[in-house]
Amino acid sequence: MDDEELMGRLSATRPSIAPRSGPLHAALEEVVTDSRHQRRRRKRFVFTGVTLSVILLGGGSAAIASPSVLTWLGFVPDKTLQHFNAAGDFCAAGIIIHPEGVPVSDPSFLAARAILLDINFDALVIPEDIGTDQGYSEREAAKIESIAQWNAANPDATMQPGPPDPETDMLFDTAYRLITDGVTSQGLDTSSFSLEGAGECDAVSP
């Protein structure tokens, strides 16, 4: 088989793509335009089930209606944490760290991951500015409101808000700050990773 024949055959293996029709171009334009707005939102909540919420820190995007939480739990979290909230509910959460548009061997991602793995959440002290930030209770209220809106729009698949857990949210933020500070101090890139955390609280039986 000569070179020309081989080249021709290789090029013939190219899978087809969807026709570039007007509607496809319009849909593509929507994705392009939306991407500019998404970058401004560093942190968002995602609802995945009855009691569980997912937090994304530093990431590019988050779902408005993610698939089952089992999809997320299919991965072993890089780090887990647990505590009792103010109401005495047992809360557990996990975090995974994602590379953001870089290979898993990227030095910035590896440094961020190393810092995350080194965090002792049992001993982690929440800084005062995070601990006293009213934004956590406001976000909790926003989360409940979002679930209410979902329930109104999806009466056959309603969700119930889980017990509030601002402490886990604060711990995630504290960890994110530690990681970005550590990565920055090493002269590395803080845009090369994101943290995704999920957790839930269960009322403890008396």
Partner 1 sequence: MRRGLSVTRAGGVDRLDALIRANASDILAYLERRIDPRADAADVLSETFIVAWKKERQAPTDEIGGRMWLFAIARNILLNARRSTRRRLAATDRLRLELAQTPTGRGADAADPLDVRGAVTQLPIDLRELVELVHWDGFSISDAAQITGISASTARSRYASAKERLRTVLVVQPEKFTRR
Which helix H or strand E contains 55, and what residues bound it?
Answer: strand 53-57
Give the integer Cα–Cα distance in Å for 199 and 52: 6
- Segment near partner 1 (CB under 8 A); pick from 34-42, 133-141, 143-151, 170-178: 34-42
30 contacts partner 1 (rule: CB under 8 A): yes
Our finding on whether 96 is near partner 1 (CB under 8 A) is yes
Within residues 102-131, the interface with partner 1 by CB under 8 A covers 102-104
Near partner 1 by CB under 8 A: residue from 4, 31, 185, 205: 31
Nearer to partner 1, 103 or 187 (CB): 103
Contacts made by residues 119-128, CB under 8 angstroms, sequence distance 24+:
119/79, 119/175, 119/178, 121/79, 121/80, 121/81, 121/171, 121/175, 122/81, 124/171, 124/174, 124/175, 125/174, 126/167, 126/170, 126/171, 126/174, 127/174, 127/177
By CB under 8 A, what part of segment 35-94 binds partner 1? 35-36, 38-39, 46, 54, 56, 59-67, 71-72, 75
- Applying CB under 8 A, the site for partner 1 has a residue count of 58
Nearer to partner 1, 174 or 194 (CB): 194
Instruction: Find the binder of partner 1 among 98, 113, 139, 143 (CB under 8 A).
Output: 98
Candidate segments 15-23, 125-133, 151-159, 168-176, binder of partner 1 by CB under 8 A: 15-23
Stretch that binds partner 1, among 17-25, 114-122, 129-137, 153-161 (CB under 8 A): 17-25
| Interaction of residue 134 with partner 1, rule CB under 8 A | no
CA distance between the termini of the chain: 77
88 sits in the region (left: phi over 0; alpha: psi -120 to 50; else beta) called: left
Could you give the angle at the alpha carbon of 70 between the alpha carbons of 65 and 76, nearest 5°?
A: 120
Structure tokens at 55: 């937090």
The strand pairing partners of 55, in sequence order, are: 45, 197
Binding residues for partner 1, per CB under 8 A? 1, 3, 6-7, 9-21, 23-28, 30-36, 38-39, 46, 54, 56, 59-67, 71-72, 75, 96, 98-104, 189, 191, 196
